Amino acid sequence: MGKSKVKFNPIGEKVLVDAHPPETKVNGIIRVTDLEQNRKGTVVATNSDTTIYLNDVVVYAPTAVVSITIDEEEYHFLIREAWLDENYACDYRKW
């Protein structure tokens, strides 16, 4: 596990995610961004209580996060209780 660039240490089974921009093209087709679609992001802060590590890419529902601002950057704070199951917020290396 590497060192976080963000000066933030979540307590318990929580992670801090830097959201990826929404995908606007799928197979060359431009689509309208749906607010209810799942989001992708990179984990920028975590602790030893989670099985998700720094720099893992996770997929999550927009309703499963709390948006917070740290050092003028917006991040998403994911709480373990909001995940549906172990595969809901997982990294792509396991696929």
pLDDT tens, residue by residue, 47-83: 877 788 889 998 888 778 888 888 888 898 887 655 5
Is residue 42 included in any domain, yes or no? yes
Task: Residue 75: give the domain boundaries.
Answer: 14-80
| Residues 56, 17: Cα–Cα separation, whole Å | 9
Is residue 85 included in any domain, yes or no? no
Residue with tokens 């992708």: 40
Is residue 94 included in any domain, yes or no? no
Please say if the pLDDT value at position 34 is more than 70: no
Q: Count the neighbouring beta carbons within 10 Å of the beta carbon of residue 75.
A: 22
Is residue 24 included in any domain, yes or no? yes
Q: Full-prediction pTM beyond 0.85? A: no
Please say if the pLDDT value at position 84 is more than 70: no
Burial of 52 (0-12, 13-18, 19+ CB in 10 A): buried
Give the chain's domain count. Answer: 1
- pLDDT the model gives residue 42: 92
